[in-house]
Amino acid sequence: MLSKKSKYALKALIVLAKEYGQGPVLISDIARREAIPPKFLELILLELKNQGILQSKKGKGGGYFLGREPRLISVGHVVRVLDGPIAPLPCVSKTAYMRCRECRDEKSCAIRMVMKEVRDATAKIMDSTSLADMLKRTESVVTGKESLSFAI
């Protein structure tokens, strides 16, 4: 399940993607627009800045802005930065693998086989979806040109 931290981060990043190239955006503006607690948002944005996803400017006209183009920031990268591995079980994680204690034979474990498929499908969607893609989807809903096609 996506944590509230990642959900808020993605909401804030979509705001910053909309404003890309127009200068920094204040935390208070993002928090107000997306109904995110400002103190929590401040911690999230600082973490994203420390990971190179965001940059900031201090002083008058300051705030946060994307560190690179929205098309170059994937949902999967953001979620991994904030929540860790996407895998539903440690035994199918590519980055934080850990064998399940109760498992007798990983190769024939039906649960592991299904959870690996879940991990692969989830990672494929999240890694191939950028902030720009998310922005296009929201704009298409607003303009009435909604498409339910997803890259799988």
pLDDT in tens, 9-18: 999 999 999 9
Q: Largest Cα–Cα distance of the chain, in whole Å?
A: 61
Inside any domain, residue 96: yes
Inside any domain, residue 59: yes
Tell me: pLDDT of 57 over 70: yes
Inside any domain, residue 45: yes
pLDDT at 13: 98
Average pLDDT over residues 41-65: 94
Q: Which tokens sit at 150?
A: 């997803």
Cβ neighbours for 150, distance < 8 A, ≥ 6 positions apart: 125
Q: pLDDT by residue (tens digit) across 22-43? A: 999 999 999 999 999 999 999 9
In angstroms, rounded to a whole number, what is the distance separating the alpha carbons of residues 47 and 5?
11
- Give the chain's domain count: 2
Inside any domain, residue 136: no
Q: How many CA atoms lie within 13 A of 78 on its CB side?
A: 32
Instruction: Please give the model's pTM, rounded to 2 decimal places.
Output: 0.85
pLDDT at 111: 92
pLDDT at 78: 98
7-16, 74-83, 124-133, 138-147: the lowest-pLDDT one: 138-147
Q: Residue 123 belongs to what domain range? A: 74-129
The more confidently predicted of residues 99 and 1 is 99
pLDDT at 104: 86
pLDDT at 152: 44
What does DSSP assign to residue 110?
H
Inside any domain, residue 152: no
CATH number, residue 51: 1.10.10.10
Cβ pair 17, 50 in contact under 8 A: no
Cβ pair 89, 115 in contact under 8 A: yes
Q: pLDDT by residue (tens digit) across 79-124? A: 999 999 999 999 999 888 989 888 889 889 999 999 999 999 999 9
What does DSSP assign to residue 91?
G
